[in-house]
Structure 1
């Protein structure tokens, strides 16, 4: 098996686990919270629950109780604001680390940064049940640290992608990043059943153990670049190095051209578009279990299954679409820029329209699930869109660029739950959730339109700036030495 294929598999499962650490709380919290949360003896609940509610009267106060077989002894009375803080905590410090993570990967290697961050996040998963029993603030603290550590993973992997993967294979390889969809699907679908059989704590113990196993395999099977891999064939090594050698010329860390980076129009558009697509994805992936359970009235098993299924389909579509995009580039049927724009149309604009469609589904659970599924599927095109596009712009600084993209993109990860918490505070109604979907749709569509109209994916001049400077300096030194020798000959 080719070594870059091995890297693809290990990267795939690495991102799957990275997503598990982000998303495991989303399905677990459905069983961590007592139903319903009270507010001044009045509980406001979605109209979709009317046919499933039990009304209890006590001292002339009516209270809506949701049917459940679970014991509430291990559950918590956290309101929507507290829940939104817990759900968004992972992303609050997560956005600090992508740029430093890219710098660390550039200096110390993407293998070590990516592997270590995932490994530490796995260890912290074991601490979540105990911290939740202390208070939601203690749980928030663990999630803050876990998110902070995991924030370096994406830019670290981009550094390795630039070293290992030729340009016409990048859409295919970056589909491994969409392993996060499989991670989301697996955690939702399996843990819904595990929670029903055992309790919510099993989610965190199981994911922590699997994460540690992956870290051992990553350390043993993965190497930083083809040049240092001890068992790679000369044929594969030569193929990779000849394909990317013209773009990545320096084996030592290069100075970072911050001014060029921050003023680059293609990069700014890439960041904005990525942020828009991630806003839509985070809204759906983070909140789908809550929406299905609290609003549509699905059980925890149904919630886990239907919230997870879209992400299996997302990865399958992403893999097939990215292979098709690589074919378009390799056969020169479309330019790299136009392929990235085609992908962005699906990932942002079509995703935004589908999110808008959820608001028109009402209490029709089948229609809502279908819309959520389609929304997740088309978001998978990001692998052949802005994700691959960030490597196209400047392979020498791929990790730094994805760091910038992730810093702003992860902003959606903690702002979206807060906004949803404000809209749905004691108001788990279709009307309030429709407002959430309107906002997400507008953000997705507007950023996608900007990219299609104005972006490009050509390698930027500043990618090789320091290589050019080094060549010019070397030539000047040669001229000076030649002139000096001529002068010495004349004097003699």
Structure 2
């Protein structure tokens, strides 16, 4: 039976994408310009900009939140390579409070976000299917914004209060990706998924690109508290736009054209199962295609979170760069990632629609490039010594190539089970959050002496995990809608 099922999968994967078959039913693509679906992509991209800006800004603010006298006792006060001073700038008087948190407390504060984030991944996917995903997404980010605005007050109360606030921020952000996947399940035509989702999620990379250098400038010219106030206000502005301009489905959108509504709903009618029905939990948790995405997502995020949380440390402690003096250099890898994510989305949909390339081939090929490429250049960066230009180049290429995977395993949830995409994303993102919790801790435990050789070990581990995830996904990944995701009748 297993062999027969595998043969059927292979035959299905060689078929033309669903939309090609449905065009025989007089379903014609609707223009992209000024369309409701691309408006949703831009609006959700702005939302993920807010999400990641609020996530990473504490890493920069932490530098100014610490008592400089207390910081001077840190063993890592100087870099391995000669420092690269920036042009002198006038000093400004800062009135914000500073704190005497030791390195252990700093670690708990910086990592506390992920402990809340991991809690709401699977519940977020379940609630997005049962409730209105628009408001789950909106209220999740609004909650994060509110706690961001309270961050300076929590810090004044004590480190434990700040940890609690960061955990609650993570709880709010945890529902955002599952909720958005549930919305795309009913908004994204099959042959436009790569383009729409990469536009949507590029906001996360842009949020990192903007937040890192801008937070440094805010710290310098104002003080660290304004980082949370300014980005918090931006988040409130997004919520107003989202409340009035986003809608759960094409059928509930008051301004969508009839051509676009028919195009979207017609192209998805054979892929979606009725909402509110029985959720096939057993089939979901035993699905090998889903397990393949879990392993790939976990593996990719190990490298991603290693760079996200430790790249500023590596640039400062090894290469002699200060993130606040060279914020753009710290953000450069994420800019490259954002650009390649969008380009890869265009190419992936072109290959599927114009070249009739099987979905599974596209997903596996883009995952291969987006995971093996970063592994190779990450290891190479560890052997550049104090050649900071070459090191930064390799780190930028490594992170940029990771953007290609956005059109690989990352979208595959919608390919294999669009009706349950939010739940599937919640499951995979739960496991993919673990690297953010343990990866940096393991990396710092391996770099106690802060030598280049120790950092090489960190990069080797990340690369090995990436390669393993690529191989596993290449073997077990699938590109067709699974039988249990289309119709399911519970057994007596």
1:217 aligns with 2:241: yes
TM-score (normalised: structure 2): 0.87
Selected match of 2:327 from 289, 304, 325: 304
TM-score (normalised: structure 1): 0.87
Shift of residue 352, structure 1, vs aligned partner:
1.4
Distance 2:119 2:430 in 1: 6
1:464 aligns with 2:476: no
How many matched pairs? 454
- Retained in 1: the 8 A contact 2:299–2:469? yes
Distance 1:440 1:220 in 2: 42
Distance 2:159 2:442 in 1: 19
What does residue 455 of structure 1 align with?
477
1:185 aligns with 2:217: no
Alignment of 1:322-337 (within 5 A): 322-337=345-360
Distance 2:470 2:133 in 1: 30
Selected match of 1:149 from 172, 180, 183: 172
Q: Name the SS for the 1:334 alignment partner.
A: coil
1:106 aligns with 2:129: yes
Selected match of 1:231 from 244, 249, 255: 255
What does residue 463 of structure 2 align with?
441
Shift of residue 407, structure 1, vs aligned partner:
0.6
Q: From the superposition, tell whether residues 112 and 124 of structure 1 become closer, same or farther in structure 2 (CA, over 3 Å).
A: same
Structure 1 unaligned residues grouped into runs of 5+: 54-67, 474-492
1:48 aligns with 2:70: no
What does residue 390 of structure 1 align with?
413
Cα displacement string for residues 343-395 of structure 1 (whole angstroms, at most 9, x for unaligned residues): 11122111112221221122222222212211221111232111211110111
Q: From the superposition, tell whether residues 368 and 302 of structure 1 become closer, same or farther in structure 2 (CA, over 3 Å).
A: farther
What does residue 372 of structure 2 align with?
349
Q: Name the SS for the 1:363 alignment partner.
A: coil
Selected match of 1:269 from 292, 295, 299: 292
Cα displacement string for residues 388-439 of structure 1 (whole angstroms, at most 9, x for unaligned residues): 11110111111100010111001111112222332345x3333333332222
Q: Does 80-89 or 226-235 show the bigger shift?
A: 80-89
Greater radius of gyration (CA): 1
- Retained in 2: the 8 A contact 1:23–1:187? yes
Structure 2 unaligned residues grouped into runs of 5+: 1-33
Q: From the superposition, tell whether residues 34 and 303 of structure 1 become closer, same or farther in structure 2 (CA, over 3 Å).
A: farther
What does residue 61 of structure 1 align with?
none
Distance 2:472 2:53 in 1: 32
Distance 1:344 1:371 in 2: 19
Q: Does 252-261 or 357-366 show the bigger shift?
A: 357-366
Shift of residue 77, structure 1, vs aligned partner:
3.7
Q: Does 217-226 or 447-456 show the bigger shift?
A: 447-456
What does residue 197 of structure 1 align with?
221
What root-mean-square deviation, in Å, do the aligned CA atoms of Structure 1 and Structure 2 show?
2.5
- Retained in 2: the 8 A contact 1:47–1:429? no
1:29 aligns with 2:62: yes
Shift of residue 93, structure 1, vs aligned partner:
2.2
What does residue 11 of structure 1 align with?
44
Selected match of 1:137 from 153, 160, 164: 160
Q: Name the SS for the 1:93 alignment partner.
A: helix
Distance 2:257 2:71 in 1: 65
1:208 aligns with 2:232: yes
Selected match of 1:247 from 271, 294, 309: 271
- Retained in 2: the 8 A contact 1:34–1:75? yes
Shift of residue 300, structure 1, vs aligned partner:
3.8
